[in-house]
Structure 1
Amino acid sequence: MGHIVILGGGESGVGAALLAQSKGFSVFLSDQGKLKEHYQDQLRRQAIPFESEKHTVSEILKADEIIISPGIPEKSELVQTIKKQGIPLVSEIEFAARYTKAKLIAITGSNGKTTTTLLTYHLLKEAGFNVGLAGNIGQSFAKQVMDNSFDYFVLEISSFQLDRCFDFKPDVAVLINITPDHLDRYDYKFENYIHSKFRIFQNANTQTACIYWGDDEVIQQYQDLIPQAAQLKTIHFGQQAGAANITDDAIQFAFGQIERATAPIQGPHNAINMAAAVLAATEAGVSWSDIQANLGSFQNAPHRLEPCGNWHGIQFINDSKATNVDAVFYALNSFQKNLILIIGGVDKGNEYDVLNDLVKSKVKGMICLGTDNAKLMAHFGDRVPQILSTDSLETAVSTSMQWGESGDIVLLSPACASFDLFKNYEDRGDQFKATVNRLTHGS
Structure 2
Amino acid sequence: MGQIPIIDAVRGDRHGLEFPAHIAALRAAGIDFLTAAFRAEGILDADNRVRAITEFAECPGGSTGRKLFLSVAYDRPQPGLPERLFAKFSRDFDDPVRDSGKDQMESEVLLAAMSHSPDFPIAVPRALFADYHRESGTGLLITDRIAFGRGDIEPHYDKCLDWRMADPLEHYRALVTAIARIAGAHRAGDLDADIVSQFPFDPGRAAAGDPIRYDARRLGNRIARFADFAGRYPHLFPEAIRHPDFITRLEREVPRVLEQEGAIKARLHAHSDLIALTHWNANVDNGWFWRDEAGQLHCGLMDWGRVGQMNVALALWGALSAAEPEMLAEHLDDLLTLFTAEYRAAGGPRVDPVLLGLHFDMFVATMGLAWLMDAPPMIAARIPDLEAASGPHDPRFQRDEVARTQLYMSANFLGLWERRDFGPSMEKLLAL
- Would you call these one fold, judging by a TM-score over 0.5? no
Higher RCO structure (Cα 8 Å, ≥6 apart): 2
Higher helix share: 2
Higher strand share: 1
Normalising by structure 2, what TM-score?
A: 0.27
Normalising by structure 1, what TM-score?
A: 0.26
